[in-house]
Amino acid sequence: MEKMVVEWIEDTHSTYSTLADRKELQGALKTLGSNAVPTLIAILDHSETAVHRAKMKGLENSRLPQSLRDNFSEEFRVTHNRLNRVVQAFKFLGNDALHAIPELERIVCEPNRSKTSSAAARALECFGIAAMPALVRCRTNAPVEYQSSIQASIYRVYRSELNSSKPEARTAATLELARSPEPPSEIIPALVELLESPQLEMRRRALDALSQHLPNFGPLAGAAYPAVEKQTTSDDPEIRRVAAELLAKYKLAPPGMKP
């Protein structure tokens, strides 16, 4: 079973590009479960050697013979496909591979990596909110040149969690994305949902975020009206004030009615 996993990931001639194409491999991963993790980590660890980095550097040399350039490019294509398959395997394993998070975090943060760091970050994404503490640490601890891609991974995880069936995950994602200067449009209905929270502080934060982001999502403003209008009768005077100011500031009106 383990041999099948390695052979599929290392197979440079296979016409199968995704895990979904290989039912027998899915069976192998399902049987191995968490036992497949050491193999996947080992492949990540050995996919970007010093020789690999030297060849990558060599491509920057305009005097490199075309034959070598072609050979190096082919090697990088094979490496790229290998890493994509490792990420697919982690995605398939899901919770069975949660114990891989510390090793993936280590790989993301190691210096002198590029493609494997990116692949490890994408593998962490597969675990959703469970990997968020590790991704946040990576954003600080990884080499500077990797940090923008790690931030992109964090953004994607939070965006996917906006549709989570777990209220606490949706709330965490909503509040974090609300801090972004350019959150996705899904943030508006998510913030409207938070206005139903029994916690006053949560409603305050949702109203503040709506005040900040509604101008960027004009067509969604009408949909926010009922929830915001409801807050004008809140027991909390601060919430009443902010809600009233929000209605007036953006001239919010009920859906179907022109402001």
* Residue where one domain finishes, among candidates 141, 161, 181: 161
Co-location of 16 and 107 in the same domain: yes
* Residue where one domain finishes, among candidates 161, 177, 204: 161
pLDDT band for 259, please (50, 70, 90 cuts): very low
Predicted confidence at residue 27, as pLDDT, reads 78
Query: What is the total residue count of the chain?
Result: 259
The predicted-structure confidence for 157-175, as pLDDT tens digits, reads as follows 999 999 888 888 899 999 9
Supply the mean pLDDT for the chain: 82
The predicted-structure confidence for 80-131, as pLDDT tens digits, reads as follows 788 888 998 899 899 999 999 999 999 999 988 878 888 999 999 999 999 9
Co-location of 21 and 95 in the same domain: yes
pLDDT band for 215, please (50, 70, 90 cuts): confident
Co-location of 176 and 69 in the same domain: no
Give the separation between CA 226 and CA 94, rounded to whole angstroms.
39
> Considering its fold, how many domains does the chain have in total?
2
Co-location of 193 and 119 in the same domain: no
Q: Is the pLDDT of residue 251 over 80?
A: no
Output the DSSP codes for 169-215. HHHHHHHHHHTSSS--TTHHHHHHHHTT-S-HHHHHHHHHHHHHHGG
Co-location of 37 and 76 in the same domain: yes
Q: Is the pLDDT of residue 54 over 60?
A: no
More confident of the two residues 17 and 259: 17
Output the DSSP codes for 90-130. HHHHGGGGGGGHHHHHHHHH-SS-SHHHHHHHHHHHTTGGG
For residue 176, what are its two tokens? 């974090």
CA 254 to mean position of chain CA atoms: 35
* Residue where one domain finishes, among candidates 102, 129, 161: 161
Co-location of 130 and 177 in the same domain: no
Co-location of 171 and 252 in the same domain: yes
Give the separation between CA 129 and CA 163, rounded to whole angstroms.
12
Predicted confidence at residue 13, as pLDDT, reads 54
The predicted-structure confidence for 34-47, as pLDDT tens digits, reads as follows 888 998 999 998 88
CA distances from 236 to 12, 174, 196 (A): 64, 22, 14
| Contact (CB, 8 A) for 250 and 218 | no
Co-location of 174 and 235 in the same domain: yes
Q: Which domain holds residue 235?
A: 164-259
Q: What is the pTM of this model?
A: 0.75
For residue 111, what are its two tokens? 């210096």
